[in-house]
Structure 1
Amino acid sequence: MSTILFDKIVFGPVHSRRLGVSLGINLLPVDGKVCSFDCIYCECGLNRDGRTGSKLPTRECVKKELEETLLSMAATGKAPDVITFAGNGEPTLHPDFGGIIDDTICLRNKFFPKAKIAVLSNATMLHKREVFNALLLVDDAILKLDSISDRRIRQINAPNSPSFCSKELVEQLSQFNGKAIIQTMFLKGNLQGESVDNTTDEEIKGWIDALKVIQPRQVMIYTIDRETPVKNLQKVTKEELEVIAAYARIQGFEVSVSA
């Protein structure tokens, strides 16, 4: 199984299926993975395989590397569409996440004011006021909601916290007051003899009901694109994703599909 780990703090730019020309920022170790989820489809691999003793990059180091990269891009006339916090795990776990967002906004405004700032997050740290407030400041807070079934969440996302539950998650997501972007991975397969499928009628109905509460600005749905650390997982077809998207669009939501 080949995992994808980012060996730099600032990486790219790369072309994202959903975001365009994206300059990435990795706030986690460059030689391992740190995450509050352990998703069975994660391209970075499972948490147990990515353990490292390396420290997180400092706020000062992130600012320095981002400034140097943006200065170089400005000199060559190569502008990013978006500066994206992603990397080797969950970016909001960084203790200086709020300050780093402040620095990034200042640098974006200085070098590429038309570029957006996006954060790809699993939404596990929304209970922290600093994290929540920082996510309100970025252009695109892209937050994970793969299921509203606690059983399915534990199967697909495997949260570290035993108290993590969909009811609290949906409530926290609704507090963005329509500013959040919801991102959902749809997949099928088998895990330890049990079916893995968040595309069933029951799953989709619950997901739509949650969207009605959250009222996101946009919904992004996608499926497996790379090798997964857990075997026996399958892509959902483009046609199936379009059917799911149609259900959400009927309810008035803007939906993008990546297959």
Structure 2
Amino acid sequence: MKKFLYSLSLCTLFVFLSVQVCGQEDKKVNAKIESSTLENQIRLKAVVANNTTVYKELNYLLVSIKKGSGGNLSNNQQSGKFSINPGEVKTLSEISVNLEKKDALKAFLYVRDEETRTLIAKDSLELNHDLFTKKAAKTEEDAVFELKGLTIDETKTKVGKDFYDLFYLQYSQLPDKSNAAVTISEMPLRGTSGQISIQIEDKVVYSFMTNPGEDYLKEQLAASLRYIKEFNARKNLIKNEFIY
């Protein structure tokens, strides 16, 4: 019986520690678009949760793009500066849209740091996505143009943070930046190694194994910027083949 209770205590401790570690990993700012529908009216609510232990001063941008059944496009956006306390959940703004059965809707929520201007959280919502055309995509791009050059830090270690800082300083000075946010993410591997990935529009543009050497990080920085430039060039080439 004592052995059973001892084993049970160990299991309970393990579960508690696991939950605690997962909770620590989730301690960041989260953005969420909440939606509710009443008859033909859809209400979009921008909600931000500060899961960190630090007071934050941030900016938000909430954009909705509607395509009517006749093909006409309309958009609505709200933005502004806000502050949020540790552990606080705050509703920033609401947008109401009249949506018929054959209408399509896209909504985007972006949250960025007031001081560094980096994008730290985002969310999106789509209804009847298939009804959108490339013209709608162009409108969407224009609506969020002010996000050009923003970066998201999803690194987890000191090496990852060091690379992100190098990347941000160099990338922010480039005259030609991607219209989409660039995400620097890090995935821990076995032992002390890890993998850093550079993503644009959820596509991995370049990735490499971590190494604390300064010269190595600078080499990977140069390679990352080169691959980003090639990715944007290919994207623009494909875009120019379409007639809107």
Q: Under a length normalisation based on structure 2, what TM-score does the superposition of the two structures give?
A: 0.27
Structure with the greater alpha carbon radius of gyration = 2
Greater percentage in strand: 2
TM-score, normalised via structure 1 length: 0.26
Higher relative CO (Cα under 8 Å, sequence separation at least 6) belongs to 1
